[in-house]
Amino acid sequence: MLPRKPTRIDLKPADKEEVRTLLWDLAVLREPQSFTAGAQSGPGARFGRVLARSSPGGEALHGGADRPAEVRPMEVEIKIRLPDRAAYEQVAAALAAAPGGKGRLDSHAQANYFFDGPNQELNSRRVVLRVRTYDVDKKATVTLKGKQILENGIGRASEVEAEVPPAAAAAYLTQPSRMLAEVPIVKDAAEKFGVGSLVALGGFQNQRDVYEWEGHTLELDETKFEHGTLYEIEVETEQPEVLRDRLEHWLSGMGVSYSYSQTSKFANFINKTLL
């Protein structure tokens, strides 16, 4: 081992605005670890009270284009970097041939595009606005992420996501300010942070293959930036330390070199790094 250093929530109509406010408070606070449903005080405690009020028959937080938004106040995932294409292919082959496994469950060509206000109104607050398309025109999402805490191969970040029609996503690439009117989660963020228009920052391509590994969904990524390519394993889990150790043991047993991811894909894109 190396040395150490998403749930859909249905809400009552009256609770939707409070949840939106809490999500943007999280981004401003820049302290993801303080925003958990089990917190005793602060945004996490308030969020817990909202959930307690809500019932299965409540109304989902609206996400745009008549689709509900998926609210994940805290996305927790393991992020392991592979050194090269050879290690990536070795891991892919092992996953496909794992005894009792189901092989590759899914595969997507993801295109990721990023946006901000003209004066970096979002990025200056560690808020990331992303449009992602799947297999060109099969699916599209708009996502807002808060500051990510990435330590010892475990990333934690707030996230709210809305599915949008692929045709709309294509239009946002050249007319990004349309999102301010058409995607409620973006409109909410713009009002919160004083964003009057949006500009495109560019993006990158990611090939994501999805496997089952020891009862968990494992994502194997090949991410192509203009300045180079990265290979990464991601696993979303509620027990990141335990699962990370198991994953490291599995990789070591195959003789696969690895390291902890040091930063997010977005940060690598913006800073032109491969960390």
Which tens digit of pLDDT belongs to each residue from 70-104?
Answer: 555 688 999 999 999 999 999 999 999 987 768 89
CA atoms of 235 and 221, how far apart (whole Å): 11
The burial of 13, by beta-carbon neighbours within 10 Å (0-12 exposed, 13-18 middle, 19 or more buried), is given as exposed
Tell whether 86 is covered by a domain: yes
20 is a domain residue: no
The residues facing 218 across adjacent strands are 211, 235
139-150 tens-digit pLDDT: 999 999 998 899
Instruction: Tell me the backbone φ, ψ of residue 55, rounded to 5 degrees.
Output: -130, 165
Residue 133 falls inside a structural domain: yes
**Is the residue at 112 inside a domain?**
yes
Question: How confident is the prediction for the chain on average, in pLDDT?
Answer: 84
CATH of the domain at 241: 2.40.320.10
30: in domain: no
Looking at residue 172, its pLDDT comes to 98
Domain limits for position 212: 70-271
Residue 22, pLDDT > 60, answer no
Question: Does 36 have pLDDT greater than 90?
Answer: no
The residue among 38 and 263 whose pLDDT is bigger is 263
pTM of the model: 0.78
Q: Strand pairing partners for 230?
A: 223
User: pLDDT for 147-198, tens place per residue?
Assistant: 889 999 999 999 999 999 999 999 999 999 999 999 999 999 999 999 999 9
In a domain, 236, yes or no: yes
Closest CA to 19 of 81, 77, 65, 62: 62
Task: Give residue 150's identity as a one-letter amino acid code.
Answer: L
**Residue 37 domain-assigned (yes or no):** no
Which segments of the chain are extended strands (E)?
10-11, 59-60, 62-64, 67-82, 104-116, 128-134, 139-145, 149-151, 154-163, 199-213, 216-225, 228-236, 259-260
Within-domain flag for 180? yes
| Domains contained in the chain, number | 1
Using the predicted structure, report yes or no on whether residue 62 has a pLDDT greater than 50. Answer: no
Percent of the chain with pLDDT over 90: 69
